[in-house]
Structures are given as C-alpha cells and as structure tokens.
Structure 1
Amino acid sequence: MAPFLPMGARPELLLAGGRGAVLIDTAGRRLLDTTAGLGQCAVGYGRAELAEAAAAQMRALAFFPLAGAATEAALRLADRLVELGPAAMSRVLFTSGGSEGVETAIKLARLAWHHQGEADRQVILTRHGAYHGATSAAPGASGIAAFQHGFGPPSPGFVHLSPAHARPLGANATDVLVAELEESIEEVGARRIAALLAEPIMGMAGMIPPPPGYWPRVQEVLRRHGILLITDEVATGYGRAAWFAAAHFDLAPDLLVTAKALTSGYVPMGAVLAADRVQDMLGGQPLMHLFTFGGHAAAAAVALANLDLIEGEGLIERAAELGARVLAELGALSDRPRVAEVRGAGLMLAIELTEPMPGLKARAIAAGILLRPVGDRVVLTPPLVLTDEQAERITAFLIANLR
C-alpha cells in the first residue's frame, strides 16, 4: 500500500538504485531527482560510508531498548546535536521520525507546564497550511484538511493562525500576522497556551519563507506571555537553509523537532532537542514516554557518519550558494501569466502556479527528471550534492515548460 494512492494501487515508479542526485528504476532509466525523497536525502544516494557505518555498529550491537541503558553511538549523537543546535539546547530525546517528534514535543510542552502547577496550559498554537505529521495529535496540529478528513475528529487543543506568507498579505504582512497572534492569545488566554508549534520555513505549504521581521517579533510576543516555542525542523534541518533554520532566523526555541536529513533517510530516525528552560520546568520528574526504536544504535551511527559528510563536504554552504543561484535563475519565470510566485530559501524552493499543470510530471520524466508538482506548486528539494550541470538541467526544463 503506497501513501496517497488507493489501497491496492501500484506505485508509479519502481526504483532499483541511485547515485548522487540520480535515481535508477528497474528498467535502467536514470532520473535526475529534484525531491530527495521528501527532502531527506541530503548527501545523495549510494553512499557507501553510511552503509558501512550501519554494518559496523550492527556487528557490535544494533540496539538495546531498556530503561536506564544507552549505547555509546546514541550518546555521541546526542552530544553532536546539542553542539549543532541552538545555544540553549541541552537535552535530546530520540524518536523514529518527524511525526513521533511532534507528538513528543507537544507532550513535553504540556508536561512542563503541568510540573509548574499550570496544568491548564494545554492549547498549542499552530498555523493553517502547516504539516506536522500523520500520527494522532500531529494531524490536529497540522493545518491541512486532507490529513484530517475521514479519520474522525482531530485531536483537540489546537488553535490555527494564518500562514506566514507575505504575498497574500501585502507589504504589512508581519504587522498583520503579529496582530493576529496577539489577538489569539488574548482570546484564548495566555495562561491556557502551552506553546506555539511552527516550521521556521513552511514546507508542505509550498516552501514559504516568512516575511521580513516575522520571527523576531513573534518570539518577543511569546516570551512576553511565557509561551514556549516549538520549531518543527523536520524539513529544514541539516543544510536546507543552515544546520538548523532557527539559526538562520536567530531563533531560540524551547523545543526543536528534527528527523529526515538527520540520517539522509538511510535509516529512520528523529530527535527532539530541549532547551534548559524545559529541563528546569520538568523539575527532574520521570518522563513516562518512549519509542521502542528511539536512540537505535545503528541509526545513530549512520546519523553521525551522515553529519560528518554534510560538514566535511561543505554541503550547507553548497546549498545556500546553489539555492540562491537557482532561485535567481527561476526568477525569469516571475513575469509569466501562469506563474504566481517564485520563492524559497537555500535548497527549499517552489514555483506557485495560477493553476495546476496536468502532464508536467510526465513530461519531466520523459526528459529524465523526477519532479514533484503538488497541486498548483512545483517544489524543489534536491539532494544537497546536486551538481551545477544538474541544476542547470532542472532550471532549463522548468523555464522551457512553464509557459
């Protein structure tokens, strides 16, 4: 059963392998990948270094899930994430992916307030159009109706704000959004709100960077009302915009959710980073929360090797430089009637169309390019190892076909 397809439907592509930013299907067809899966495969396909890291750890000890036990690989990874994360981060809780991470962060925020004697702080502020996962609480947090339809009532306790998107709101977008936040806090009551959960750059909504000045002002409002900030960096972490987009916007979140490119998708793994404030609020109380595969030793070994590749090959700097260049080249599309907006940050890019373009994906595949049109948007999240020549092929195809 494949995601987003009817039960029993066959997948559109049968993939057999890949190298760098190129996928190979079972017929031997080579497809230049603009997706990195769902943005996770930062270091590209076929990296023997990651396979060898997993094998070496598995030969020693793949995993041992028991309270009070840990492995050296998991502890080393926790230290590395604290080192890479925002300055106040001091604790790491491992998960198997992003949805689990969002659930964990929501529970931690509510639990922290419970231990502070403010158990009424249960409400989580989120945003329309945001995607935060597909488990239980996560669809309630997400502002996308398709992920809630037919599954019964969404989990309660979420209040949705407008997307942080400048184009529909105009030149005063930040003022409008901050005023809405203040009004929502007043309406709900600050003493009932545990946290704001938000992506620094909105991913599934269409690679939407916030308007200028948005994050510093939002952070000031939250601090003034004592509300925690949870940044969902599942899509943005490990090089799309910086090591973490929080640094890109000078954010100091209380909780940070990460997954995807932590292992470049080679094995499932995620993590939640917690700041000193949350640690202090929990007051040393036990956390009755776990995932069987959280902190999996082989996954941690892969993550460590993956972070070494990202750092050693300069992929964060590469993503910033190449992303800026591709965005500038795609700017040639901005005056076309079919194109509403070209936007992005780093290697998180999108072209918003005035209407969907049926057949665009098939034309791209015929040209040897795997493209991901999503409704009226074409999103680009290629592996960070994309070459200059490959980037030029992608931009040339889009400029020639988005008429």
Structure 2
Amino acid sequence: MANATDHLWMHFTRMASYRDGNVPTIVRGEGAYVWDSRGRRYLDGLAGLFVVNAGHGRTELAEAAAKQAAELAYFPLWSYAHPTAVELAERIVALTPAGLNRVFFTTGGSEAVESAWKLARAYFKRVGKPTKYKVVSRYIAYHGTSMGALAITGLPAIKTDFEPLVPGGVKVPNTNFYRAPEHGDDPAAFGRWAADEIRRAIEREGPETVAAVVLEPVQNSGGCFPPPPGYFERVRQICDEYDVLLVSDEVICSWGRLGTYFGADRYGYRPDIITTAKGITSGYAPLGAMIADDRLIEPFLGGTEMFAHGITFGGHPVSCAVALANLDLFAREDLVGHVREHEAAFRSTLERLTDLPIVGDVRGDGYFYGIELVKDKTTRLTFDDAESERLLRGFLSGALFDAGLYCRADDRGDPVVQLAPPLVADQRQFDEIEQILRAVLTEAWQQV
C-alpha cells in the first residue's frame, strides 16, 4: 500500500527500504499460503513468524474469539480468575513434563522470558540465596526485546542502542556443530564440550550468583542449531549440581513445531520452567505463558507472600478461548503427529539442495530448518559482512518473495535461509519450497 510508511512504524525494518517503493501488504491467508493486496499468492514458509502452526484461514478459531468477546471480552487475572484461563491452564499442564503445573500467562514470548527471570530472582531470595540473579544463555540466541529478555539475548547488533542493559546476562557457546571443526565427526563429544562450557561459566561467575540457564531446544538465531546427543542431559546435571534453574525457551519450539507439544519432550529433558507463546494460539490472538515447576510457587503460597509481577492483558479471555480452540484443532487433526509423519520428507527434500555450491549445511528438526550459505563448501568459508549484505538484503530477501516464497534470509551469525512452514504443510509444499530455493539460490551463486 502506498501510504503504509506514512504512519506505520514497522518492527525490525529499515524504513528507508520503502522510500521509493510500496510496502508488501498481506491481506488474507488460507492453509499454508497468503495473498497480498495485488492478488499474488505466496507460500508462507515461516508460518508468519514461527506462529501460524495450524495454518491460515481457520474460521473456528475466529469464531471462538467472537463468541468469547461477546460473553466476556476482558477481565484481569489480578486476584481474580475467569473460566477460559482456568481451563487453558489445566489443558496446558496435561501436556507438559511432569511437575510443571503452574501457568503464568503473558501476552507474548519476551514477557514470558522476562517473567521467568523475575521468578528465578524472587524464588532464590525467598529460599535464602539472594545473591543468585545471573542468567546464562548462548551466543547469537534470541530471547526477546524487552530490557530483561534483551540482556539474555545473545545478539550484539540489536542490543547496542539500548545499553546499559539489565546486569546479569552471561554468554556461552551455542551448538552449531557445522562450525565446530575441532570436534570432527563426533557430535556427542561436541555436546559434552558445549554443555561443560555452561559449567565453566557458572564456576567463573560463582555458583552463588547464577540463578538460571536459558536455552531453546533448537536455537533459532544463527539458523536452527539442534542439540548434540547428550547435551541437555549434561546441562540438567550441571543445573542440579549448582542449584540453577533450567529454563526451556520454547516460544518457537513448542506446540508441534518439533513434532512434540514441547521441545523438552523431543530431546528428553525436564526443565524447571518453560516459556512459550506464538503457536499456542496459532497467531489468531496474542498469548504467551511461563510454565513453572510446583516447587517454584511454594515460597509464594503462605501468608502475605506474592509474586509481585503482572501484565494487564496476560491470560486475556479471548486469547485463552482461541488457545483452547487451537488445542481442540490440534487434537482433532493430530497436527503434532502430522509433523512426525512428514518431518523426514521435509528434511530429505531440503537436503536435495546440498548439490548447490552455495549450500553448506541443512540442519534442524520437525518443521524448523536452517540452510547455511557459504562461499566455499570444502573450507566452509563464509561471506564477509559486505558480501552478506549484498547477498541477503540486496538479492535473496526480495528474490525469494518475488518467486512466491515468504521465508527468512538472515545473517545473525553466518548467512542462512530459515524455514518453518505451518504444520499443515506436506510434500506438495516441500517440493514448492525446494524448487523456488533451487532457482533463486542458483541465481544468487551466479551473482557471487
């Protein structure tokens, strides 16, 4: 639309990019596809923003929102309850790892991560360890943009403008095995090393100062880093040894994205806290949650104690109603099982692209993949900053969209193309993704 830049301030957007052109404007969606204001169709290869898990155009979710809004549009969870929040909390804990039975609702992922850090600090103060306040997280990892979550985030480029940040963020290596040549072909050895880097960080900082370790099951930023074998088992041991809370940031990795309701189940570990958002409503209304182990609420259950934290729209009645309808849809269509059934085909289809000279690595799990782009496959030489700018923003982002594929071309870390289609996608969409990527990446290599 010609007037989109007149008043709308878009998120994470170089506004100058549209000084001489119109902003792409998406007007409707159906299944795995969206259409723009000119009537052009695009395959939604990112589920909006890792959000629309159930697919676009689900009228039953819209109807659930309308019904709830007509009955009770809003009431806070500050000393009161409402039925949809009560029911949704019960539904969620039936799906979480055992013992994670307390659901604190937010409106999104940053707020969920912020809530987890605040809970960790408040909890340790109440159990006689008031100096435990720091959080360990991984380089390049994204955990949100609010000031606390930003301190946990490991992306320097999006932090500089807002420094000084909340103190206490500590960074350790991520699990990008493709960039760990010293470990050869032994991912288990790499996993032990990466986990033990968390141990070394805790020891350097002083265990008496560290409250939590925050990790995604599959790290998003950098291009979908799955955990090496044994990694989370070792991290769990380390957290137990030093009395540190393990927070599984599943804002992306929950609600079927990895073929399980929660990523912790996919990789067989039990966190103390799960943070979630996005796919909990498939994006039909904003909602997030911090899901905590029973022991973490115990200090707040007596006398005049309380967790002095709240969010006006956390657990909004309409959002909770949409989430309940979303979970009904998941169960009825077995969307989580659909991902497990088709994830191998998705991987193998994307791996066809490894015959291209520009494709260095294809990695991920479930319906969550990154394709790392390189200058030299043999040496794994990456692009420098100027080359990456020309490749990703100067060509790939626009060319992929023009070819009918909405996805992410990103260089937070090494240059990657990220894919996370709606969970309804099948081989037809996999083939379409591969064909578009093949044509556009071939042209990109010719330009390189």
TM-score band (shorter)?
over 0.9
Give distance in 1, aligned partners of 2:362 and 2:426.
21
Residue 80 of structure 1 corresponds to which residue in structure 2? 91
Q: Please state whether the residue corresponding to 1:121 is helix, strand or coil.
A: coil
Preserved CA contact (<8 Å) 1:202 1:208: yes
CA distance in 1, matches of 2:349, 2:77: 52
User: 1:168 maps to which residue?
Assistant: 179
**Counterpart in 2 of 1:369?**
405
* Distance (whole Å) between structure 1 residues aligned to residue 82 and residue 218 of structure 2: 34
Q: CA deviation at 1:7?
A: 4.9
Cα deviation code 1:277-334 (max 9, x no counterpart):
2123445421111000011101100000011112211111212232221211222333
Distance 2:50 2:205 in 1: 35
Counterpart CA distance in 2 for 1:175 and 1:128 is 17
Distance 2:292 2:427 in 1: 37
Q: Percent same amino acid at aligned positions?
A: 39
Q: Which moved more, 1:150-159 or 1:128-137?
A: 150-159
Map of 1:179 onto structure 2 = 196
Q: Which amino acid aligns with 1:114?
A: K
SS in 2 for 1:264: coil
- Structure-1 residue corresponding to 2:105: 94
For residues 317 and 359 of structure 1, the distance between their equivalents in structure 2, rounded to whole angstroms, comes to: 37
Maintained 8 Å contact 1:88/1:252: no
| Contact kept in structure 1, 2:273 and 2:290, CA below 8 Å | yes
- Residues of 2 paired with 1:48 and 1:269: CA distance? 18
Q: Is the 8 A contact 1:321 1:346 kept in 2?
A: no
CA distance in 2 between partners of 1:136 and 1:106 (Å): 11
- 1:226-237 to 2 correspondence within 5 Å? 226-237=243-254
Structure 2 residue aligned with 1:130: 141
1:227 partner amino acid: V
| Counterpart contact for 1:256–1:272, Cα < 8 Å | yes
1:121–1:194 contact (8 Å) kept in structure 2: yes
Match of 1:142 in 2: 153
Q: How does 1:199-348 map to 2 (within 5 A)?
A: 199-241=216-258, 242-282=260-300, 284=302, 285-348=305-368
Partner of 2:434: 395
In structure 2, the partner of 1:33 is: 44
Moved more, 174-183 or 99-108: 174-183
Task: Report deviation, 1:123.
Answer: 0.9
What CA distance in whole angstroms lies between the structure 2 residues aligned with 1:289 and 1:161? Answer: 29
- Cα RMSD of the aligned pairs, angstroms, is 1.6
Q: C-alpha offsets along residues 200-228 of structure 1, whole Å, 9 cap, x if unaligned? A: 11012211101111111111111111111
What do residues 161-196 of structure 1 show as CA deviations (whole Å, max 9, x unaligned)?
101222222323112213322221221111211110
Q: What is the DSSP-based 3-state SS (H/G/I as helix, E as strand, rest coil) of the residue aligned with 1:402?
A: helix
In 2, the alpha carbon distance for the partners of 1:290 and 1:396 equals: 47
In the alignment, is the contact (CA less than 8 A) between 1:124 and 1:197 conserved in 2? yes
Question: What is the distance in 2 between the residues matched to 1:392 and 1:332?
Answer: 10
Distance 2:75 2:408 in 1: 38
Pairs aligned (count): 403
Alpha-carbon distance, 1:276 to partner = 1.5
Question: Does 2:64 correspond to 1:53?
Answer: yes
Q: Secondary structure at the match of 2:166?
A: coil
Residues 254, 274 of structure 1: 8 Å contact kept: yes
- Structure 1 unaligned segments of length 5 or more: list them: none
**Structure 1 residues 281 and 325 mapped into 2: Cα distance closer, same or farther (>3 Å)?**
farther
Counterpart AA for 1:179: D
The residue aligned with 2:12 is 4
**Contact 2:105/2:288 (8 A) holds in 1:** yes
Contiguous gaps of at least 5 residues in structure 2: 1-8, 375-382, 443-448
Looking at structure 1, the residues matched to 242 and 160 of structure 2 have their Cα atoms a distance apart, in angstroms, of 33
Partner Cα separation in structure 1 for residue 427 and residue 299 of structure 2: 48
Is the CA contact 2:45–2:420 (under 8 Å) kept in the aligned structure 1? yes
Q: Which deviates more from structure 2 when the two are superposed, residues 151-160 or residues 98-107?
A: 151-160
Partner of 2:5: none
Mapped to 1, the partners of 2:82 and 2:127 lie a distance apart of 32
SS of residue in 2 equivalent to 1:319: helix
User: CA 1:177–1:222 in 2, change beyond 3 Å: closer, same or farther?
Assistant: same
Q: TM-score, normalised by structure 1?
A: 0.96
Amino acid of the residue matched to residue 362 of structure 1?
G
Pick the structure with more helix per residue: 2
Match of 1:106 among 105, 110, 117: 117
1:254-286 deviations in whole A, cap 9, x for unaligned?
A: 111000001111111101101122123445421
Which is worse superposed, 305-314 or 340-349? 305-314
Give, in whole Å, the separation in 1 of the partners of 2:245 and 2:396. 42
TM-score normalized by structure 2?
Answer: 0.87
